[in-house]
Amino acid sequence: MKAYPLKFRPIYKQRIWGGQKLREFFDKDIPAGEKIGESWELADLPDDKSVISNGELTGQTLFSVIEKYPKEITGNENFSGAFPLLTKLLDAQDILSVQVHPDPETCRRMGKGEPKTECWYIISAAPGAVIYKGLKKGVTKEQFAEAIEKGNVADMLAKVPVEVGQCHFLPAGTAHAIGPGLLIAEIQMPSDTTYRVFDWNRVDEAGKPRELHIEEALESIHFDASGDNLSVTTVGRLVDCEYFRIDKGHQGKNCELLLSAGQMKTLIIISGFGTILGAGADPLEFKAGDTLLVPAVCEGAIRFVDDTQYLTVTI
Residue 291: closest CA among 15, 21, 2, 22: 22
Residue 196 designated active-site: yes
Distance CA 296, CA 315 (A): 12
Q: Are 190 and 83 in contact (CB under 8 A)?
A: yes
Which residues have CB under 8 Å from 44's CB, separation 6+?
A: 50, 61, 62, 63, 82, 83, 86, 190
Q: Of 9, 15, 23, 196, which is the active-site residue? A: 196
Distance CA 186, CA 182 (A): 12
Distance CA 18, CA 214 (A): 24
Q: Are 30 and 75 in contact (CB under 8 A)?
A: no
Residue 47: how many CB atoms within 10 A of its CB? 7
E-strand ranges in 126-229 read: 130-135, 157-161, 167-170, 176-178, 182-188, 195-198
Which residues have CB under 8 Å from 279's CB, separation 6+?
A: 4, 5, 259, 294, 298, 299, 300
Please list the active-site residues. 196
